[in-house]
Structure 1
Amino acid sequence: MTQQELRTTGSPVQAAMFPDGPDSVLRNPDVSETQWHRELVRAAVYPWLFLTELAGILLLVLAGVLGDGVASVLALSAGILTVSGSVLAGWHRASRIESDHRHGPARPCRLDRVRGEFFLRSRDFSGLGTASVAARTLFAGVDELYRSPARDWIDPALCAEVHRVAWQALCCLDRTRGARGLAVELAADPDSAVGDLAVAARHAVTAIDDALDEVVGHIHGCLVLTRAWEAKLRHTDLTARAEHTLAGLPGPDQLRRLSEAAEALPQAVFAYITAARDVTDAGPFPWEQPTRSRPRRSRALRSRLGTPFARTPAGHPRTGDGLP
């Protein structure tokens, strides 16, 4: 698939359904756009779909031959429904060619007939021990790079090169299956000469695993850079949004004018309400009533204190003051 098409469809790592469950697939970067289009057309014109479309066309021709009448209308309707249904079924089948590989035992998936012809599955590397972790890391790394916002700032050819390097590393890892199994068999043989072959096989596999780890490390370095740029982009976006949001907030002058306008409202309402009260003779409001509780309490207090301590007129002592 070309880089231009990848820019349109997204990441070369896609989720897909298989008979053994969901899995991730990495597209082969060497498959041309023409090959993909050929597979799409082949999926859309599957034999039984082609026969159904042909039957619909024959019904349309029959409707034209019959001319007017109920039979012609029925043939025309059936032909239109048949052709439309066949076209929709073909389009649906072609649109799911990369995401749905669940086919019957008698119809194996064309794209999955030969491992690595069109894509590699993440589960293809599950039986390779610690190397399977590196394989999953490569899948995730390529997917993250293609989905990263930083990709818009990177040369598309560079992203395609990362895709190609990851694919080649996975192909090298896939070719170690036989060597890994052979190393296990040789290690179990007691013959000393065969034991030397086992050591050589293990060394060869280890060298490939080490090279694969280096590739994983370099691709991880690319991701570290893209993540750092993503953080910069997020910071720039947040800064711009914060400045725009703060610029839209009301300023001190506007708030002061708003407060002054609100301050005059109660007095204006009070004027109208009191005028209405006077016109309707509704009487004073509660806050306009005089407070009478305090004078009554003062008079009661004076009456209680005035009897024992009442004073007589000057120069005339009161009886009981202790005078003879």
Structure 2
Amino acid sequence: MREHDSPATVPPVLDCAFPDGYDTVLINPAITTRQWRRRQSLAFLHPATILKGLFSAGLAMQLSVAGQGFGEKLGIGLVTLILVLGVWRALSHPSVEDPLRREAAQLPRLRRGEFFRRSDFDGLGADPGERVAELLAGLRELHRSPARAWLDPALPGEVHKVVWRTLGCLDRSRDARALADEVAAEPDAGDNLAAATRQAVDNVDTCLHEVTRHVWGCVLICRAWEQKMRRQDLADRVSHALVNAPGPDQLRGLSQDSDALPRSVFAHITAARDVTHAGLFPWEQSPSEWPELVLLPSRDSSTSLTTYRQP
């Protein structure tokens, strides 16, 4: 079983692959880590997996008999086994990769009453179905939130238990919902029966709405704390960067030190010019004595060479 946290952790919400498609599952919080590991181990012992292995091994052994020597038999058997497994895998998986398949995992061998599927509540009406989806999404986000490290370790488990109990109450309201519709359609049932059954259903829906609101209140608080932690981390990194950055006094001194460099270089170069009698630089002469700028054509017609020619 592939999980988002750790193989030893019992995740409250999973995206799982079922024969009828993909679905979100709420795991019973009463399942212990030991039970979860056992369920994961049993999931690998699927009859189809065992039959695939036996068939592939038998076919490889049967074809390997055609060889004469032991090495030839072994080689033929291994190649055949690889080909059979590759073909079987290609046939058992769709050619177009489904994004849900990458995230979903096969549900472990859970017993009845150890999980709820989100689709289990689709027949109870649009509003309860939406609330269930919101509950599972909120519980998943709370379980994965970085703010969980700052909470009491038992607190996410308490939220998990409340969500499980809420879906249990919603599941037990199926008969009341069916009777409410039946009583409403029966003219001789009486107003008292219709009002009682409808009130029972409304009470469950109100509780579901309240629990969903409170769970998402926990999620929003965790989001606010995550944002504050991100801002604090950003402020710490900015502060560290500013400490390491050069200050105004250092930059001002660097600018002042570099300001004297051109004058020092000019003094040395002019001294060398006077010693060697190299003559004045162009900028020390009058503009009329500056060299004439001449453009000489180069081999490449798109470019030209620049040179100076004395008048």
What's 1:187 paired with?
A: 184
Check the 8 A contact 1:23/1:123 in 2, yes or no. Answer: no
What's 1:33 paired with?
A: 36
Deviations 1:100-137 (A, max 9, x none): 57xxxxxxx987997x6534225733742433332222
Check the 8 A contact 1:13/1:25 in 2, yes or no. Answer: yes
Instruction: Give the Cα separation in 2 of the matches to 1:8 and 1:280.
Output: 88
What's 2:147 paired with?
A: 150
Once the 2 structures are TM-superposed, how far is the Cα of residue 217 of structure 1 from its aligned partner? 3.5
More strand by share: 2
Instruction: Give the Cα separation in 1 of the matches to 2:138 and 2:182.
Output: 34
**Unmatched runs of 5 consecutive residues or more in structure 1:** 102-108, 293-324
Once the 2 structures are TM-superposed, how far is the Cα of residue 248 of structure 1 from its aligned partner? 1.5
Larger radius of gyration: 1
1:266 maps to 2:262: yes
Check the 8 A contact 2:60/2:77 in 1, yes or no. Answer: no
Normalising by the residue count of structure 1, what TM-score does the alignment of the two structures yield? 0.65
Change (3 A) 1:7 1:213: farther
Q: Tell me how many residue pairs correspond in the alignment.
A: 274
Once the 2 structures are TM-superposed, how far is the Cα of residue 161 of structure 1 from its aligned partner? 2.0
What's 1:164 paired with?
A: 161
Once the 2 structures are TM-superposed, how far is the Cα of residue 197 of structure 1 from its aligned partner? 2.0
1:73 maps to 2:93: no
Check the 8 A contact 1:111/1:117 in 2, yes or no. Answer: no
Q: Secondary structure at the match of 1:25?
A: strand
Once the 2 structures are TM-superposed, how far is the Cα of residue 169 of structure 1 from its aligned partner? 0.6
Instruction: Give the Cα separation in 1 of the matches to 2:71 and 2:20.
Output: 53
Check the 8 A contact 1:59/1:78 in 2, yes or no. Answer: no
Normalising by the residue count of structure 2, what TM-score does the alignment of the two structures yield? 0.67
What's 2:104 paired with?
A: 99
**RMSD of equivalent CA atoms:** 4.4
Instruction: Give the Cα separation in 2 of the matches to 1:111 and 1:119.
Output: 14
1:120 maps to 2:117: yes
Instruction: Give the Cα separation in 2 of the matches to 1:85 and 1:9.
Output: 32
Map 1:200-279 onto structure 2 (within 5 A).
200-271=196-267, 274=270, 279=276
What's 2:51 paired with?
A: 48
What amino acid sits opposite 1:252 in the alignment? P
Instruction: Give the Cα separation in 1 of the matches to 2:43 and 2:63.
Output: 27
Of the three residues 125, 130, 134, the one matched with 2:131 is 134
What amino acid sits opposite 2:77 in the alignment? A
Change (3 A) 1:75 1:136: closer
Instruction: Give the Cα separation in 2 of the matches to 1:163 and 1:71.
Output: 56
Once the 2 structures are TM-superposed, how far is the Cα of residue 158 of structure 1 from its aligned partner? 2.0
Map 1:305-320 onto structure 2 (within 5 A).
none
Once the 2 structures are TM-superposed, how far is the Cα of residue 201 of structure 1 from its aligned partner? 0.9
Instruction: Give the Cα separation in 2 of the matches to 1:133 and 1:214.
Output: 13
**Unmatched runs of 5 consecutive residues or more in structure 2:** 94-100, 289-311
Once the 2 structures are TM-superposed, how far is the Cα of residue 223 of structure 1 from its aligned partner? 2.8
What amino acid sits opposite 1:198 in the alignment? A
Instruction: Give the Cα separation in 2 of the matches to 1:241 and 1:125.
Output: 48
What amino acid sits opposite 2:172 in the alignment? R
Check the 8 A contact 1:49/1:86 in 2, yes or no. Answer: no
The more displaced of 10-19 and 246-255 is 10-19
Check the 8 A contact 1:176/1:205 in 2, yes or no. Answer: yes
